[in-house]
Chain A
Amino acid sequence: MLYDIFIDPFVQMYDMPDFFLQVLWEGFVAGILYALIALGFVLIFKASGVFNFAQGIMVVFAGLTLVGLHENGVPAYLALILTIGVMAVLAYGVERIVMRPLVNQPEIILLMATIGLTYFLVGFGEFVFGGEPKQMITEELGLPTGSTAFEIGERGLIILQHIDIAAAVIAVVMVIALAIFFNKTRIGRALRAVADDHQAALSVGISLNQIWAIVWFAAGLVALATGIMWGARSDVSFALEIVAFKALPVLILGGFTSIPGAIVGGLIIGFGEKIGELYWGGLVGGGVESWLAYIIALIFLLFRPQGLFGERIIERI
């Protein structure tokens, strides 16, 4: 038993390095996608202190809108632009109808409001586009679809899907773009000011409502990118919702307020999950992927309650 837990998996890793590398790559890609979902959470949490549960469903909704528009005869790129428009309308609507009246409420109320939004979007999405899974329009958007096999050593073989590489590249580009946006532009600075202190930001003439609409729009764009990537790997369906829950351990691992935290957290969860499933999962009957992420996050939290990169929690009486 002890041998199975502590020695055998490592022997396997050493014996079959190509398989191990393949597992690492799978973990990396899954991690990137978790990180993308978590990124949307972080954006909104930083700017408004709202824990946006609806981010996962926004991913599905964005993907569905894109595919649904294309199915109805809209050219792929036009559909993409229209979807961005839809996300902008959604962002404005959420700010106007949900967030503005709920200013200054305790965080659990805001959380419940976003869960209510989740229900609404699930119903709305299914109402408009139907509930069945859809194929993502990967080729029409000009994304690569093939795969390349690399030989390693004498008998090793790694297969990389091009779409995964594209996902990694897009994620990196998006994080860099967000970093530049936050640090160099006028709106980005206003966002950071709002994140620091709502009242102080108001007093120097920053419009909170405008900032929130922008931030929800940015989260919507991130959701769209995530939706395309996830959709290309599997189908676009509401089953993705359960994947979105995985973003939560990612989030607490990295800290609610940290963009690098979301990335690092995503990678830790992605690697941990795949390696755990393939090397240790068999010992307990498999399927550990569904909860391993939460247990990893739980263990991290016991040592660092504020997450890896989160701001220190100081309690006063």
Chain B
Amino acid sequence: MFYREAGQFKTSYKADQALFPILQDRIGIAAILLIAFVVIPAFANDFFLTSIMIPFLIFALAAIGLNVLTGYCGQLSLGTGAFMGVGAYAAYKLTSIFPDANVIVMVLVSGVFSAAIGAVFGLPSLRIKGLYLAVTTLAAQFFLEWCFIRIPWLYNYNSSGAIEVPRREMFGFIVTGAEALPITRYFVVLCITAGIAYLMANVLRGRIGRSWMMIRDMDIAAELMGVRPLQTKLMAFAVSSYICGVAGAMMVFFWLNAAEPSSYSIRLSFQILFMVILGGLGSLGGAFMGAAFIWILPVLLKFVPGALGIDIAAETVEHATFMIVGALIIFFLIVEPHGFARLWQIAKQKLRVWPFPY
């Protein structure tokens, strides 16, 4: 009733192959973009932007990156945090080597380094599969983390061992550094995330994305049908690491301002993996929903006791948050193992047949 394909006739191949062929989808996406670009900047305060929207968008981008690898190509990875770290450190080095270059270009270029390292650690995936591969990506995680600590060149011999973002301007606005306004950062992060998400939506439904899905569904069969496993898997690793690297660079440049090696620890890898799984494997929209859930829920939990007038020690709240998040993850896996993306599909089906039950 509210959402249906029936009656929407296409008169050209172009219209048929469009990214959103259905009118209601176009309206929905336009509404979301309107909210993101106009409503939120107009009404949100700095707190909402810096501690909810900016990290949410960055994590959503990282979740898209991991989704390419795990959801679309079927290669389980626990090294996301380290690949994000590579992006962050590469962007930091690039901005200190080329101080005059545009900082956004540097952030986008830093992903290339992360992609190269991701491809190297993707090499074992040709022989090793499934959970075994997860352990080899753990090797990447711990090795790279060690590099961030032990190679002083990476953080410019800074005595604190942390990387600090320099102040950079663009078109008269301060984009990075401590003085940058949350609203400026928000727009930069939003543009990069939306741009990459749009690009990936198109890549994933094209030849490359389809060959990834063939590898995921059955790699031997895909090989017999002419998909070259080496190139395909390595490309998945490279693209995934590129996106994660950009997300990692954005994390330090537009959100944290300074980062230590521990910012990119295994905890971060798990967090991103949760977002992907709870959002739904193999779904871009799911990556956004998962990121929203995993990031925003703990933030909300922090403020609920205060809002209700209950006085609890901050420590207790933190422990309770851990418990609740863990329990909710298990709960959602039991209720809907295919994630929020499946819930959204069910909702769409309900809208389609409403007011009838089926």
A residues with a Cβ closer than 8 A to B are: 51, 97-98, 101-102, 105-109, 111-113, 115-124, 126-127, 131, 245, 248-249, 251-252, 256, 284-288, 290-291, 294-295, 297-298, 301-302, 305, 307, 313, 315, 317
Residues of B within 8 A of A102 (CB): 333-334, 337
Query: Taking the nearest CB of chain B, how far is it from the CB of A263, in angstroms?
Result: 18
Known A-B contacts A105-B337, A127-B316, A317-B224; A291 and B323 likewise in contact (beta carbons under 8 Å):
no
Chain B positions 297 through 330: 1 when the CB is less than 8 Å from some CB of chain A, otherwise 0: 0000000000000000001100111111111111
Known A-B contacts A102-B334, A115-B329, A127-B323; A298 and B136 likewise in contact (beta carbons under 8 Å):
yes
Question: Are A127 and B150 interface neighbours, CB within 8 A?
Answer: no
A9–B221 Cα distance when bound, in Å, is 49
Residues of B within 8 A of A295 (CB): 139, 143
User: Quick one: which of A101, A107, A118 contacts B334, CB cutoff 8 A?
Assistant: A101
Smallest CB gap from A126: residue in B: B319
A107–B277 Cα distance when bound, in Å, is 12
Question: Are A113 and B330 interface neighbours, CB within 8 A?
Answer: yes
Smallest CB gap from B219: residue in A: A315
Residues of B within 8 A of A51 (CB): 131
Query: Taking the nearest CB of chain B, how far is it from the CB of A122, in angstroms?
Result: 5
User: Quick one: which of B76, B134, B218, B319 contacts A123, CB cutoff 8 A?
Assistant: B319
Known A-B contacts A287-B149, A301-B127; A294 and B142 likewise in contact (beta carbons under 8 Å):
yes
A255–B136 Cα distance when bound, in Å, is 14
- Tell me what chain A mostly uses at the interface: helix, strand, loop, or mixed: helix
User: Quick one: which of A111, A127, A301 contacts B320, CB cutoff 8 A?
Assistant: A127
Query: Taking the nearest CB of chain A, how far is it from the CB of B281, in angstroms?
Result: 8
User: Quick one: which of B131, B139, B315, B329 contacts A291, CB cutoff 8 A?
Assistant: B139
User: Quick one: which of A116, A287, A301 contacts B146, CB cutoff 8 A?
Assistant: A287
User: Quick one: which of B131, B150, B221, B333 contacts A112, CB cutoff 8 A?
Assistant: B333
Interface centre among A117, A248, A249, A295 (most CB of B within 10 A): A248
Chain B positions 257 through 298: 1 when the CB is less than 8 Å from some CB of chain A, otherwise 0: 000000000100010011001000100000000000000000
Question: Are A121 and B220 interface neighbours, CB within 8 A?
Answer: no
User: Quick one: which of A117, A123, A256, A290 contacts B321, CB cutoff 8 A?
Assistant: A123
User: Quick one: which of A120, A131, A298 contacts B326, CB cutoff 8 A?
Assistant: A120
Known A-B contacts A123-B321, A252-B135, A285-B150; A302 and B124 likewise in contact (beta carbons under 8 Å):
yes
**B: number of interface residues (CB 8 Å):** 47
Question: Are B139 and A287 interface neighbours, CB within 8 A?
Answer: no
Smallest CB gap from B337: residue in A: A109
Question: Are B333 and A294 interface neighbours, CB within 8 A?
Answer: no
Query: Taking the nearest CB of chain B, how far is it from the CB of A79, in angstroms?
Result: 22
Question: Are A248 and B138 interface neighbours, CB within 8 A?
Answer: yes
Q: Which residues of chain B in 90-122 are interfacial with respect to chain A, using CB atoms and an 8 Å cutoff?
A: none
- Seed contacts A245-B138, A301-B136; 20 additional CB < 8 Å A-B pairs: A97-B330, A102-B337, A105-B337, A111-B131, A111-B134, A112-B277, A116-B328, A117-B330, A118-B326, A121-B326, A123-B319, A123-B325, A126-B319, A248-B138, A249-B139, A285-B150, A290-B142, A290-B146, A294-B138, A298-B124
Query: Taking the nearest CB of chain A, how far is it from the CB of B146, in angstroms?
Result: 5
Pairs of residues from A and B, 8 with the lowest C-beta to C-beta distance, nearest first = A123-B322, A119-B326, A120-B326, A294-B139, A123-B323, A116-B329, A291-B142, A127-B319
Known A-B contacts A108-B76, A112-B333, A294-B136; A305 and B326 likewise in contact (beta carbons under 8 Å):
no
Question: Are B319 and A301 interface neighbours, CB within 8 A?
Answer: no
Residues of B within 8 A of A251 (CB): 135
Smallest CB gap from B133: residue in A: A301
Residues of A within 8 A of B321 (CB): 123
Query: Taking the nearest CB of chain A, how far is it from the CB of B201, in angstroms?
Result: 23
Within 8 Å of chain A (Cβ to Cβ): is B132?
yes
A131–B281 Cα distance when bound, in Å, is 34
Within 8 Å of chain A (Cβ to Cβ): is B28?
no
Question: Are A249 and B135 interface neighbours, CB within 8 A?
Answer: yes
Within 8 Å of chain A (Cβ to Cβ): is B205?
no
User: Quick one: which of A109, A111, A126, A301 contacts B124, CB cutoff 8 A?
Assistant: A301
Residues of B within 8 A of A287 (CB): 146, 149-150
A88–B337 Cα distance when bound, in Å, is 27
Question: Are A119 and B329 interface neighbours, CB within 8 A?
Answer: yes
Residues of A within 8 A of B221 (CB): 317
A22–B320 Cα distance when bound, in Å, is 44
Question: Are A116 and B330 interface neighbours, CB within 8 A?
Answer: yes
Query: Taking the nearest CB of chain B, how far is it from the CB of A120, in angstroms?
Result: 3
Residues of A within 8 A of B324 (CB): 123
